[in-house]
Structure formats: C-alpha cells, structure tokens
Structure 1
Amino acid sequence: MKPITRGTLAAVVTGIAAAVGATATPAAAVPVPVPLGGAETALGMELPEVAGELPVPVPGAPDGPRYVAGRLLPDRTLPQLPVDGGLPGADVRQPLPRVLGDQFDHAALDAPATEVRTLAPGLSLDAPLSAPDPDGFGLPTTRLPEAAVLTPLVQTVPAADLGVGPGL
C-alpha cells in the first residue's frame, strides 16, 4: 500500500472516529448535596433533606454552510451552534409531624435533571449580485441583497413528582 493511500485512509478513519465520539457524549449532571446536619443539631429540630443536580452543558458541532445553485454565498453563512445540557434537578423531603403519635410523615418533591437541546441563532446572507449570466456576456446582474436570521431553538420536557408518604 502506498504511503499516500495509507495517509488518506488514516485521515478518513480519524475523521469518522471524531464524528462518532462527538455525537456519543451525553450531557452529564453533577449531584450537589446540601448538608443540613449541623443546622439540625444546632436548632434541635428535623430539617428537610435537600439534594440537587447541576447539568454540564456540552457544545456540539455546528451544521456547516449549504451551497445552493444560483447563489454566491452559502445558505447558512453563520451556522447555528447546538448546545446540549439540562435543567437543574432537585430532591427535597420535608418531614411532617403526625397529629397522633410520635412518627413522622413526609412531603417530597422530586424533579430530576432533564435534557435540554438548544440551537444558537444563525445568519443567512446573499450577495447583491447574481451568478454569472451566460446571456449577459458572463457578467452578473444586480439584485437586492438578502439577509435572514435563523431563530434560536430550545427543546425540553421537564418533569416533577410531588407526593406525601409515611416515614422519612
């Protein structure tokens, strides 16, 4: 195998591995406990248990410009940048004293971290000249310039669970 062929094959395999690795990284959430044990001891009462999750945003690869026949500039001059992350999560348990007896019930709120998919705004421009016209001796014709703002996008499905139960 020639060195040029081996180099080309290595570049293609490296590019494919980088593309697969870039799409396979999920957004991660970091658990954050809230220590309230010292406050419980100091106040002499039972406090709620609180924990949270903070998402780590992961930028993705932008969708590159698309060339369209008849235009001098590509369709997406400034491409949109995708950023995957998440909404922060929370887990709160509050003890509720029973009216009768020494046992406790609890009220709980569980809102897990959820995925968020976003796209930054982009820009699409077109020049005030057309492509070369063969009927006009190869000269471009003038026309009005075009500009469009690609709208940002936010997609998520938040969820939460609120309940009351026995024990803490």
Structure 2
Amino acid sequence: MKSTTRGTLAAVLTCVAAAAGAAPAAAVDAIPVPVPLKGAEKALHMELPEVGGEVPLPKPGSPEGPRFVEGRLLPERVLPQLPLGAGLPGAGLRAPLPHLLGDDFDHLSLDAPSSDLRTLGPGLDLDAPLTAPHPGRAGLPQPKLPEVGLITPVLQTVPHAALGLGSGL
C-alpha cells in the first residue's frame, strides 16, 4: 500500500473515531456546573457549602405544518408554532450546620434538579375575506369578513426541589 493511501486511510479512521466519540456528548441533556470552593476553605480555615448546578441544553423541535380545512381558502395555522424543548436550570447546595439541632444534624441540603421545560412559540391563524368557490353561484366565491387569530405561546414545566437535614457531610 502506498504511503498516500495509508495517510488517507488513517485520516478517514481518525475522523470516524472522533465522530463516534462526539456522539455520546451530543446526547447530554444538561451540563453540570460545579462551583469550586475548596481553595477558599483552605484559605479561610473553615468549612464552606458545596454548591453546584446544571445548565440544560435547548433542543429545537419540528413545527406542525399548516393544515388544510374544508371551506377555507387559506390553511389553518399559516404561521406554525415552533417547539423548543429544554429545561430549567438545576441547583444543589449542601451546607454544614454547627450542631444547632443536636449531634444527628450536621448539614442542610437543597436539591433542585433541572426539570423539563416544553415551549411553543406564538403562531398566526388567518383566513381570506372570501369563501370557497360555491357551485350554486357559477363557481364564484362569496365575500365575508376576514379572520385573524394569534395562537398563544405555551410554557409547560413541573419544577421540584428537596430540602433536608442530615448527619455527615
């Protein structure tokens, strides 16, 4: 095998391996964001809370196209709603307690994981000022009042959090 062929083959295999390695990273829903406080703990000679969070990645969806309805000249939902799936950011906090409530309670923790968020952008629905052609009137449409409607945006989520006291850190 010639050296140029081997080089080309090695480049192709490298690209395939890089693409295969990047595929699991694309499937991540949220990126963890740790807050490093260990250096401050050593500098201040005290125990600090552990803080972290999650930043969700937005994922665009495919919009529902216009739907044709009998009796209308223009399709329903002329400007479709655009879906976007993401999540609310999550947070985690674990703070030490100085045994205020007894020896069994050493820390206070708050866990608010990222929760799914479903959104739909606003849409537009309108109809022409004419009806569909009428066979009894020689195929001529009849005038009517135009119709314009705004489809309201949608925002759906179910956030949740847990607050607790416990022993040990």
Q: Fold-level match, TM-score > 0.5?
A: yes
Matched positions, count:
144
Report the TM-score when normalising by structure 2. Answer: 0.79
| 1:123–1:149 CA contact under 8 A, matched in 2 | yes
> One-letter code of the match for 1:128?
P
Identity %: 63
Q: Deviations over 1:89-142 (max 9, x none)?
A: 111000011259999700000001110111111110000011112222211111
- Matched with 1:34 is 35
| 1:130–1:143 CA contact under 8 A, matched in 2 | yes
SS of 1:139's equivalent in the other structure is: coil
| 2:105–2:166 CA contact under 8 A, matched in 1 | no
What stretches of structure 1 of length at least 5 have no aligned partner?
1-24
Distance 1:57 1:149 in 2: 25
What stretches of structure 2 of length at least 5 have no aligned partner?
1-25
128-137 or 97-106, which deviates more: 97-106
Distance 2:83 2:27 in 1: 13
1:28-107 to structure 2, matched below 5 A, reads 28-99=29-100, 105-107=106-108
RMSD of equivalent CA atoms: 2.2
- Matched with 1:6 is none
Distance 1:70 1:44 in 2: 77
Where has structure 1 moved over 4 Å in runs of 4 or more? 99-104
